[in-house]
Amino acid sequence: MSTGYGYTHPNVTGDDLRRLVTTVCGAPTYLYTQAIDAVGLALLKAGEPTLTPEGRAFGPEAEVRWQRHDDGADGYIVLVLSEAALDLGSDWQEETFEVSDPLTVYLMGVWQPKERAWIEVRVPHPLDYPLPDPGRMARPVAPAVEYSQDGIVRYIRFKGLKAEPLEEAG
């Protein structure tokens, strides 16, 4: 097991959060966003991300999670997870974690080449993953690591997305 770091801040402005997302995650960076009426998963393109009330950005270097204050005040509660020590400033609280060996989180759906879409039979519409056409049947996966303290997993940090080819039945 290696060491990981968690940084929390109770009140980060939207502009500071956008800068943080674009500088610490590494490339490629993926955005998982949540709002009352929708969730989304997208590849961060050039420019600054549009922030939803709750979400996360993740890449090979770090993951940034945020939640807008419930009381309507401007600002976000932010958590940054990284296997490298970061200098975010003295107003961030730092914790250390034990980081697991790499693991794989399997996402819903399978790439169907005939439909050219990610399909999950329990979902009434194609799924939208920011992955290129794998060319054959595949499933979406997220490489990840667990962050634990005293043997208890506190967080699972996503490190990216990829399509894993399915073995074809012979």
Cβ neighbours, 10 Å, residue 145: 22
Q: Confirm whether 82 is domain-assigned.
A: yes
pLDDT at 37: 75
Q: And the tokens for 6?
A: 């968690």
* Contact predicate 106/43, CB 8 Å: no
User: Could you read off the pLDDT of 137-170 as tens digits, one per residue?
Assistant: 999 999 999 999 999 999 999 999 999 998 754 4
pLDDT at 170: 43
User: Could you read off the pLDDT of 23-70 as tens digits, one per residue?
Assistant: 999 999 999 987 777 778 899 987 777 788 899 999 999 999 999 988
How far, in Å, CA of 46 to CA of 72, rounded?
29
Q: Confirm whether 170 is domain-assigned.
A: no
Does 10 share its domain with 75?
Answer: yes
Does 79 share its domain with 13?
Answer: yes
Does 60 share its domain with 133?
Answer: no
Does 95 share its domain with 118?
Answer: no
Does 89 share its domain with 119?
Answer: no
Does 31 share its domain with 91?
Answer: yes
Does 91 share its domain with 107?
Answer: no
- Mean pLDDT over 124-144 rounds to 94
Q: Is the dihedral of CA 159, 16, 54, 78 positive or negative?
A: positive
- Check pLDDT > 90 for residue 6: yes
Residue 143 β-bridge partners? 104
Does 71 share its domain with 54?
Answer: yes
pTM over 0.85: yes
State the residue range of the domain holding 76: 2-99
Q: Confirm whether 142 is domain-assigned.
A: yes
- Mean pLDDT over 70-92 rounds to 92
Per cent of the chain over pLDDT 90 is: 79
- Mean pLDDT over 10-30 rounds to 94
Our separate counts of H helices and E strands in the chain read 1, 13
Q: And the tokens for 23?
A: 């500088």
Domain count, the chain: 2
